[in-house]
Every structure is written in structure tokens, then in C-alpha cells.
Amino acid sequence: MTILAGCASSPKDEFAGRNAEKLYAEAKADADAGSYDRAIKALERVEGLGAGTLLAQQSQLDLAYLYWKTNEKAQALSTIERFIKYNPSSPALDYALYLRGVINFNDNLGLLGNLAGQDLAERDQRASRDAYLAFKQLTEQFPNSRYTPDAKVRMDYIVNTLAAYEVHVARYYLNRGAYLAAANRAQQAVTEFQQAPTTEEALHIMVASYDKLQLPDLRDAAQRVLRTNFPDSPYVTGVTAKAAAKPWWRIW
């Protein structure tokens, strides 16, 4: 019996014979054409071939972006964190910080489009806080970066989201009769996010909670703050019928 050796062929290397520069050019062309998976494979090879070069650094940035585009958030964050850690003096560090923020920021926005009617504030806020920290580092370290103006807008948006989350939790406690927890959570929202649009409702929750707890001094103090800062509030005037308005968070 003849034994046939070598019949089982090894997987074909679709990138064989290309140097890092040629592979990178092909990856960019594939990405521009929407062939993200093929572009990612090529960029991963470029990163290995050009280790320690500027081309490898650029490949990392492109990879992080494409991982994000293909909903591979963990891969995207791992890649961008590695870039930031090992390239602290890179001229592209401002973009890396911005991308880190956007990856986390859009983690919030992504599901919103699939859950009709769900307020962003009803979701876990870890990603929002991580995005805020990335944008904050960008604006402080690179105040003149081309990405800083947009980062500041997103930071304001995140602050409003975090405030709304605190009020959402406070409202939950109020509706279930956990008045002390409701008052404490509303107080936290007022203290930390004084300029947020949800401050008005937070003060109202404090008033209602203190009233249920039979704490008239605290109730009246919260009521005075509410009247002073929001004299036309339906919580002050008693006019509760309000025209339907676009939620504050629908800005994108």
C-alpha cells in the first residue's frame, strides 16, 4: 500500500508575499469599500510585520476603529488601550483618547436604537462614566485638539445622562414607597449635577419624599429651592399637563 504524504494542503495564506506597506494600502482600500473583515485581517498582519514602527501604530488605531465599526467593543477597547499605554508621546494620542471615549459613548447609543421608548438613563452607566473620563483627559491634555470641541459636547451630554439616571432611580424608589432612599438619591442628583435638566424633578422627589417621611423642615427647604429656581415648574404651579416634548437626550 502506498502512503500518500503531503496530500492534506495547509490553509492558503491570502496575504503571502506582501510587505507591511502593501498590506496596509490594501487594508485601507478594503475598509473604504466596506470590506471590514478582510481589512481587519490585513491590519492585524501589518501590526505584526511592522512591530515598533509608525505604520504598526497607525494599524492599531485603524484596527480599534474597525473593531468598533463591526461591534467588537471588547477588541476595540483592548486595542486602543494598548496603543495609549505604549505610545504616550504619539502625535495621534489625542485621537486615541477621543476614540476610546466614542467607543464607550456609542455603547450607550447603540442599544437605544433597538429599544423603542427606552430612556438612555435607564441603562447601566458604567460606559458613560468611562467615556466621560476619556473625553475629560482629552480636553485637559489637548485643549487645542480638533477633537476637543466635539468631546466637550459629548461630556455635557454624558453629565445629563448620569443625572437622569440618578433621578430615574430616585423615582423608582419613590413609586415603591422607599422614601428615604428616594430622597437620598434625588439629593445626590441635585448636589452632583446642579445644571442638569433633571434637577427640577429631583427637587420635586425630595419634596414628596420628605413629606412622606414627615420631615417638614427638609420638605419646606427643598420646596423653596424648587420655587426659586423653577417658578414655572408644574411641580410648583400644579399644572401637570405638559405638551409632549422631545427628550433632552435625543440630540443625535
State the average pLDDT over residues 58-73.
95
Distance CA 149, CA 229 (A): 29
245 falls in which pLDDT band (50, 70, 90)?
very low
Q: Rounded mean pLDDT of 41-60? A: 87
Q: Which helix (H) or strand (E) holds 103?
A: helix 93-112
Fold type of domain 93-238:
1.25.40
Confidence of residue 225 (pLDDT cuts 50, 70, 90): very high
Name which of 200, 179, 177, 175 is nearest 189 in CA terms.
Answer: 200
- The closest alpha carbon to 180, from 159, 210, 155, belongs to 210
| Fold of the domain spanning 18-90 | 1.25.40
Residues 6+ apart with CB under 8 A from 150: 98
Confidence band for 14, pLDDT divided at 50, 70 and 90: low
pLDDT reported for residue 241: 44
The percent of residues above 70 in pLDDT, for the chain, comes to 80
Q: What is the rounded radius of gyration, in angstroms, for the C-alpha atoms of the chain?
A: 26
Residue 71 identity (one-letter amino acid): N
Q: Count Cβ neighbours within 10 Å for each residue of 115-138 and write b for 16 or more, e otherwise.
A: eeeebbbebebebbebbbbbbbbb
pTM of this structure: 0.74
Q: What is the pLDDT of residues 172-224, one digit of tens each?
A: 999 999 999 999 999 999 999 988 999 999 999 999 999 999 999 999 999 99
For the chain, what are the domain ranges? 18-90, 93-238
Measured CA to CA, the distance from residue 134 to residue 148 in angstroms comes to: 11
From the list 203, 230, 233, 234, the residue with the least C-alpha distance to 219 is 203
Q: What is the mean pLDDT of residues 72-81?
A: 95
Angle CA 113–147–39, to nearest 5 = 65
Residue 167: what pLDDT? 94
pLDDT in tens, 103-127: 998 655 433 334 334 454 455 578 8
The two domains 18-90 and 93-238 share their CATH topology (first three levels equal): yes
Closest CA to 105 of 132, 124, 77: 132
- What pLDDT is attached to residue 124? 58
